[in-house]
Amino acid sequence: MRAIGLIGGLSWESTVIYYQVINRRVRERLGGSHSADSLIWSVDYTTVEDLIFADRWDEVRTLLAGAGRKLQDLGAEVLLVCSNTFSRVSDDVARATSVPVLHIADTVGAEVRARGMRKVGLLGTRFTMEQRFYRDRLATHGFEVVVPRRERRELVHRVIFEELVRGVVRESSRDAYAHVIAELADAGAEAVILGCTEIELLIDEKDAAVPLLPSARLHAEAAAAFALSG
């Protein structure tokens, strides 16, 4: 089994999902009391949150690339940046290290392609929904990505940063997200990508008008499969 290195704390609320899913998949595959060989480098989220809101991405690259090198030095044989927003620097982590880095958008894109979908919605932070780094990566997998209208994007973004990354889950926010998903479905989306790992703490398919694609779980499952293939 290959050792998995998780660059987490982005936020730690969703890093928990990664740890649970990876270990459950390993146990399902190997049986008994097996669990994954894994390491987590968890950053102080306030530090990186302040940097991205100040558009100081060079400092984010330096910080997360350094985390990747530390995990590699400790024995990690595959790395994950446990975030959609911070996947903006995944390629920088890959250049700074010599082990594979599994990109979250590629794992989501592979799932959409496997399901034969041609048009999907995307929810996430404003960075993920509006900047090109994530949507362009998804587009290489051959499908159209649509996002909510501006005021809906602001709502989705606000709930993430003011509630979910702080562990706050509100029924009113769940209802609001369900409404946004329904609007994306009305616009032709065959499914909606939960393109912020914390959204999975708030909503699941029972709340949604179309299938949901949980990015953190898909990313974690890809990591477990990769580790077990070694």
Shared-domain flag, residues 113 and 143: yes
- Structure tokens that stand for 214 in this block: 């949980």
Q: Can you give the pTM of this predicted structure?
A: 0.95
75 and 157 in a common domain? no
- In terms of domains, do 205 and 222 share one? no
Show the tokens assigned to 202.
């708030």
State the average pLDDT for the chain. Answer: 96
- The Cα–Cα gap between 69 and 58 comes to 17
Structure tokens at 48: 């990186």
DSSP state at residue 188: T
Mean pLDDT of 195-207: 94
The pLDDT of residue 221 is 97
Contacts for 51-54: CB closer than 8 Å, 24+ residues apart: 52/85, 52/86, 52/127
Burial of 126 (0-12, 13-18, 19+ CB in 10 A): middle
Could you tell me where the DSSP H helices lie in the chain? 12-30, 45-53, 57-73, 90-96, 104-114, 126-130, 132-139, 150-162, 171-186, 215-228
Task: State residue 168's pLDDT score.
Answer: 96
Residue 33 has pLDDT above 80, yes or no: yes
Domain co-membership, 11 together with 86: yes
What is the residue range of 85's domain? 4-103+218-228
pLDDT at site 160: 97
CB 224 within 8 A of CB 1: no
For 122-180, how does the pLDDT look when each residue is reduced to its tens digit (9 = 90+)?
999 999 999 999 999 999 999 999 999 999 999 999 999 999 999 999 999 999 999 99
CATH number of the CATH domain containing 130? 3.40.50.1860
pLDDT (0 to 100) of residue 107: 97
Cβ atoms of residues 197 and 218 within 8 Å:
no
Backbone angles phi, psi at 117, to 5 degrees: -85, 145
* Model confidence band, residue 209 (pLDDT cutoffs 50, 70, 90): confident
For residues 75 and 160, membership in a common domain is answered with: no
Question: Taking a C-beta distance cutoff of 8 angstroms, is the pair 81, 104 a contact?
Answer: yes
Are 15 and 96 members of one domain?
yes
pLDDT tens digits for range 110-136 = 999 999 999 999 999 999 999 999 999
Same domain assignment for residues 13 and 66: yes
pLDDT in tens, 100-112: 999 999 999 999 9
Q: 3-class DSSP state for residue 85?
A: helix
Report the candidate in 61, 218, 84 with the shortest Cα–Cα distance to residue 147: 84
Q: Give the three-class secondary structure for 149.
A: coil
Count of structural domains, the chain: 2
**Among candidate residues 132, 213, 196, 122, the one with its CA nearest the CA of residue 161:** 196
What's the alpha-carbon Rg for the chain, to the nearest Å?
A: 17
With a cut of 80, say whether residue 56 has pLDDT above it: yes
